[in-house]
Amino acid sequence: MRFILRKFAPIFIVAVLGAVIGGGLVLGYGPFFLGKSLPEAVSQLNKEVELPKTANAALSAARNTPIVRAAQIVGPSVVGITNKAYVSDMFNRRMLVERGSGSGVIFDASGHIITNYHVVAEAQEIVVSLADGRTVPGRVQGIDPATDLAVVKIEAGGIQPARFGDSDSLQVGEPAIAVGNPLGLELKGSVTAGVISALNRTLDIGERRFRLIQTDAAINPGNSGGALANADGEVVGINSIKIAVGGVEGIGFAIPWNTAKPIVQSLIEKGRVVRPYLGVVAFDKNTAQRYGYQLNIDKGLYVFRIVLNSPAARADIRVGDILLKLAGSETNSLAELRSLIEAQGVGATVPVLIGRNGEQFTVQVKLSEVPNE
């Protein structure tokens, strides 16, 4: 899955969905690994390489760093999630196969697990691998494709929920620890460390605008849905995407926990996220050109269609109007319009500045919940 960002074009943002790892991946160093797939190599390495006798000995103060302590706190709360689906073989027999794998974070003792939507998308069976070695079935409790978040539910005792921190208190330069399953469950529980590279990094993906945490802690396929923690062992972000292009390293992104928290709670309680909507189909100048329309506007959005019985229809917004501002902020792109609408609550009444026939005026629009259809 790739997203193309205008801001970073032609850089690709890769949603780090853990792909099924086949025999085509060959490690290129040492005779021990030559010709082996990653699962085979890791399995043989685990069998033949003996850990040092002092592995469980008390660490010195120099070795017992905040990263070590944070990994010990977060590690038991990070799980592996395998997405399985039925396919037909050449004889038209139905077979259950693994579509991919990712990571998740245990949210509470009831068995709710936070992950990315793309990790569980279209899954017909979910298998959750716990840090203590147990494997249990899971079911999708709720999904929110708009923010790439999902909640999976398991029935299991003896699980350890993560500790969650205040992502708004993060400082650029402080340690960042990513825990997940890069490249699949063979490397489960992997820890990478770096720093918080930037905050409130705004990325436009499709028609939506995302504010994400940027980090140089390595995030690889399979890390999706895993934890980004601070040095206190608190989860402050859900690992989601990375920039994948030759010559670019150390640019990964996580959904801030303060952004994810209300979404997760809504998914647990309702199975979906309740959002306000305006009820218009609108184009900015550049989008209109892609569809063959020429708009003679410098600012705002051209209203192409009005949804029947929507808030916009009730406020007498019409086809051909120009949306100039919503709640006092300019609306020059679809991403801006969506962000402004979603910042309001369902039932909120907001002023919308309209341009019509060379005149400008303001209408009051009462936003309602996005209809199921």
- Residues serving a catalytic function are 118, 148, 224
Pick the closest to residue 362 from 313, 334, 328 (CA basis).
328
Q: Residue ranges of the alpha helices (H) in 6-107?
A: 30-33, 38-48, 66-74
* Run of H or E residues at 130: none
Distance CA 100, CA 45 (A): 23
| Beta bridge partner(s), residue 306 | 280
Assess whether the previous peptide bond of 10 is cis (omega < 30° from 0): yes
Tell me the one-letter amino acid at 298: D
Do the Cβ atoms of 350 and 329 come closer than 8 Å?
no
Structure tokens at 232: 């206190």
Using alpha carbons only, how large is the chain's radius of gyration in Å? Answer: 24
Pick the closest to residue 282 from 329, 316, 332, 330 (CA basis).
332
Distance CA 5, CA 183 (A): 24
| Beta bridge partner(s), residue 105 | 78, 114
Residue 18's Cβ-side half-sphere holds a number of Cα atoms within 13 Å equal to: 32
Pick the closest to residue 201 from 252, 246, 164 (CA basis).
252
In degrees, rounded to 5, the angle at the alpha carbon of residue 97 between the alpha carbons of residues 94 and 100 is 150
* Run of H or E residues at 270: helix 257-270
